[in-house]
């Protein structure tokens, strides 16, 4: 079993604080997730990336490996 998911999000201008003084600019953000697992479900691997287009945050990539025995 395997899947690939890609998501893009547009966020309009918004505020970082309750007083509406610190503005967060509008812009795009994106993420992806890829997953594969064995037929007997004994192992699985997930690869992901988040904040790919967000200029206010660093890109984050990761890998998750699961083994069942």
pLDDT in tens, the chain (69 residues): 999 999 999 999 999 899 989 998 899 999 999 999 999 999 999 999 999 998 888 999 999 999 998
Which of 57, 66, 54, 46 shows the shortest CA–CA distance to 7?
54
- CA 16: distance to chain centroid? 20
CA 64/CA 36 separation, integer angstroms: 11
| pTM beyond 0.85, yes or no | no
List, as one string, the DSSP characters of 13-31: -EESSTTS-SEEPPEEEEE
For 4, which DSSP code? E
Tokens of 6: 């890609």
């Amino acid at each position: 079993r395997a899947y690939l998911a890609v998501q893009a999000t547009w966020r309009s201008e918004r505020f970082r604080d309750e007083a509406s003084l610190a503005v967060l600019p509008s812009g795009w953000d994106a993420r992806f997730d890829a997953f594969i697992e064995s037929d007997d479900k004994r192992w699985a691997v997930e690869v992901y990336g988040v904040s790919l287009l967000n200029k206010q945050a660093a890109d984050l990539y990761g890998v998750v490996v699961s083994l069942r025995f």
